[in-house]
Amino acid sequence: MTIGEFYKYFNERLKSIYEERESTNITDWIFESIASITRLDRILKKQKALNHSAIKQLNEALDQLLQHKPVQYVLGEAWFYKMKLNVNEHVLIPRPETEELVEWVVEDVRSTIYDVRGKSPVNIIHQTSDIVYILDIGTGSGCIAVALKKELPDTELTAIDISSDALQVAKENAQDQDVEIGFAQLDFLNEELWPSLPHFNIIISNPPYIPENEKNRLAKNVVEHEPHVALFVNDNDPFIFYRKIAAFAGKHLKQNGKIFVEVHDEYAKEVQQIFLDESFEPEIKKDVYGRDRMIQACRSNKIL
């Protein structure tokens, strides 16, 4: 079978579960990653016979995809903030809106600290130290922590997660990207463990925030394959992580420190109120699609 023939077959099979544009994007990604066949190759070499080893590997990938397994898990990789990261079913697949959350932090820190040439304004986040201490709660693949450390190399990153399997993936990504991050397995909802953590200038989190009753609204590839512990919260207390983050910040956020969190677009106002009730000054930010997807909260009169 030629490259052109097998590509067409592969793409047509995927169209049974994906829209045409998505099936084409997935097929392109699979062919390039598994068989090293680029789009240009498919044009210039479409009549070239595909070897048996490549056909076997592509068919194995197709079988997994047709079971609604996300392409990122099939390949074991996902792109985030210009980095190729390792992923598996123990961690969430990084999303574009999380990149926007990272960018918000990067812009905020860069606008308030000395840059390497000493030309930026004096840092108002940390007035007693040249180091910005950042905590990533529920790090998963480590995408947030790794991206922040690469963009802000002079910061000190601590990343926690309840899952040892997720932390293993995060550690691999940190090593692959050549960054040093302090990882710790910790159940953040257990307040008795909070004293083990120091104080921070920035707390960032993309916590579980989807109520369990919304499972039927999600795509099959998400519900059947991505880790539920990182996605869903109990319907009886859907804002538990935000309440805990606000309470933790009351004891562990340094003077003029800030909180950055990703939120469910339908419940941004409720999360905003949680921070207001804890004497923070929260700001909602929309993503590129105009949805309320991020919140920054600060408490400038807080002194530790």
Instruction: Enter the pTM of the model.
Output: 0.91
pLDDT per residue as tens digits for the range 230-243 = 999 999 999 999 99
Residue 304: inside a domain = no
Give the domain-ending residue among 67, 100, 121. 67
Cβ atoms of 179 and 146 closer than 8 Å: yes
Instruction: Report the run of H or E that residue 63 belongs to, with start and end.
Output: helix 52-65
Same-domain pairing of 50 and 155: no
Question: Would the pLDDT of 116 be above 80?
Answer: no
pLDDT per residue as tens digits for the range 72-82 = 999 999 999 99
Mean per-residue pLDDT for 181-209?
Answer: 97
Question: Would the pLDDT of 33 be above 50?
Answer: yes
Give the domain-ending residue among 67, 99, 117. 67
Same-domain pairing of 135 and 264: yes
Same-domain pairing of 175 and 196: yes
pLDDT at 42: 87
Residue numbers of the domain that contains 34:
3-67
pLDDT per residue as tens digits for the range 77-101 = 999 999 999 999 999 999 999 999 9
Residue 114: inside a domain = yes
Question: Would the pLDDT of 34 be above 50?
Answer: yes
Q: Is the dihedral of CA 17, 18, 19, 23 positive or negative?
A: negative
Q: Are strands 77-80 and 83-86 parallel, antiparallel or unpaired?
A: antiparallel
Long-range contacts of 58-67 (CB under 8 A, 24+ apart): 58/6, 58/10, 58/30, 58/31, 58/34, 61/30, 61/34, 62/10, 62/13, 62/14, 62/30, 65/14, 65/17, 65/26, 65/30, 66/13, 66/14, 66/16, 66/17
pLDDT at 299: 78
- The domain tally of the chain equals 2
Same-domain pairing of 134 and 48: no
pLDDT at 19: 95
Same-domain pairing of 237 and 172: yes
